[in-house]
Amino acid sequence: MDKPPSEPDRNTKPELLELLTELKCREPIFHHPELGTTGEDFNRLTDPDFWEIGASGHRYSREYVWSVLEQRYTADPTDQQGGGWETSEFQLREIAPTYLLTYALLHDAKLTRRATIWQRSEADWTILYHQGTLVSDPVHHRREPELKMQAQ
């Protein structure tokens, strides 16, 4: 099926495929207890200027996001209630020394488009920005199959 003329080119450059694989394993952000569930982990994973726009369209400060996560991690340390996430349509673009990762997230029949700006620090990856936007008409959402990386 041909893509509609309104669709942007969403191909990840070949030189970024290894980074794409590495970052895909970290999304959806804050739903991977193996990456950490403490305030120290959160501070390591997020830039001091981190903020996000949730799927609701509301903006959230770094402090607010941590307060919500701290409650979630206390009530459900292994994120058992956060299961059922399905990600697809990953694409990675390099923007200066940072990377924009975009993808679609389906959860409880609600489809959102997500974007995370990642930056590599000396020790690990940090999140500069994250946004989730509710897809208003998911019936017209054309899901693209996940492409498998081929050995080069």
Average pLDDT over residues 50-74: 90
In terms of pLDDT, which residue wins out, 152 or 141? Answer: 141
| Per-residue 3-state assignment (H helix, E strand, C coil) for 30-61 | CCCHHHCCCHHHHHHHEEEEEEEECCCCCEEE
Q: Which two tokens stand for residue 148?
A: 């498998």
**pLDDT confidence of 62, banded at 50, 70, 90?**
very high
Residue ranges covered by each domain of the chain: 14-75+85-137
- Of 95, 100, 98, residue with least CA distance to 121: 98
Contact call for residues 127 and 46 (beta carbons, < 8 A)? yes
Query: Alpha-carbon torsion 28, 34, 37, 39, what sign?
Result: negative
pLDDT digits 0-9 by tens, 90-143:
999 888 889 999 999 999 888 898 999 999 988 899 998 999 988 876 554 455
Model pLDDT for residues 75-88, shown as the tens digit of each residue: 887 777 767 788 99
Architecture, CATH, for domain 14-75+85-137: Roll (3.10)
* CA gap 132, 91 in Å, rounded: 15
